[in-house]
């Protein structure tokens, strides 16, 4: 750390940053920030899992529902693009998503994607349909029950996130969103 006009500043490449809310402006290194971020994420994920349990859905299944909703779109769902066709959200060509593309989107092995799709299909949340461009392939689409459950999950997720982040005032939430956007490359 170096002094700039009587205040602490980060040394380029040092991994140390000025402490926010810390006693006496003590520096926190990047590893500590990583641990704090990981702890906050674990807490949010635990709460999120608890909120999904009454819906008989795991976090992996929830992620898959949202990925199927995206259909052929490569943007994070919901992206707001006009090619999302409303109920069913069957992507830009109306035909859902191929299993291999779903696996890539979820960053899991195709076999694992098959297991998640099987679980969702057993619950009546997705359907396998023929791929109109390749009769050897199938596409995964949300069923009407899947569309409704995805809507419920969105509501639960927003409510839980609101509760989780309520410890921050609106300025802090805005700043956190800005910082996370920078860190995730979405800024």
Does some domain include residue 106?
A: yes
Q: How far is CA 90 from CA 63, 113, 115, 119, 156, in A?
A: 16, 18, 21, 19, 22
What is the number of domains present in the chain? 1
Sequence-ordered list of residues with C-beta below 8 angstroms from that of 39, at least 6 positions apart, any chain: none
Mean of all residue pLDDT scores within the chain? 79
Does some domain include residue 146?
A: yes
With a cut of 80, say whether residue 95 has pLDDT above it.
no
Does some domain include residue 44?
A: no
**Which single residue is written with the structure tokens 């608890």?**
50
pLDDT value of position 76: 47
Structural domain harbouring 99: 59-156
Confidence category of residue 185, pLDDT binned at 50, 70, 90: confident
Does some domain include residue 126?
A: yes
Whether the full predicted model's pTM is greater than 0.85, yes or no, is no
- Give the CATH number, domain containing residue 78: 1.10.10.10
Does some domain include residue 123?
A: yes
Does some domain include residue 91?
A: yes
With a cut of 50, say whether residue 137 has pLDDT above it.
yes
Does some domain include residue 82?
A: yes
Does some domain include residue 8?
A: no
- If one counts every other C-beta atom within 10 angstroms of the C-beta of residue 3, the result is 8
If one compares 81 and 101, the residue with the highest pLDDT of the two is 101
Sequence-ordered list of residues with C-beta below 8 angstroms from that of 45, at least 6 positions apart, any chain: 59
Mean pLDDT of 95-114: 93
């Amino acid at each position: 750390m170096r002094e700039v006009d009587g205040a602490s500043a980060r040394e380029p490449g040092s991994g140390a940053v000025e402490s926010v809310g810390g006693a006496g402006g003590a520096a926190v290194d990047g590893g500590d920030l990583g641990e704090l971020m990981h702890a906050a994420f674990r807490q949010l994920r635990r709460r999120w899992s608890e909120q999904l349990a009454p819906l008989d859905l795991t976090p992996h299944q929830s992620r898959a529902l949202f990925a199927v909703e995206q259909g052929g779109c490569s943007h994070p769902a919901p992206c707001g693009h006009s090619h999302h066709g409303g109920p069913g959200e069957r992507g830009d060509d109306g035909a859902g998503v191929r299993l291999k593309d779903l696996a890539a989107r979820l960053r899991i092995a195709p076999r694992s994607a098959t297991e998640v799709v099987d679980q969702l299909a057993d619950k009546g949340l997705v359907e396998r349909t023929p791929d109109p461009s390749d009769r050897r392939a199938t596409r995964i689409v949300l069923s009407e029950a899947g569309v409704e459950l995805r809507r419920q999950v969105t509501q639960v997720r927003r409510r839980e996130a609101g509760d989780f982040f309520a410890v921050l005032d609106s300025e802090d939430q805005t700043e956190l969103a800005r910082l996370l956007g920078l860190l995730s490359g979405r800024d």
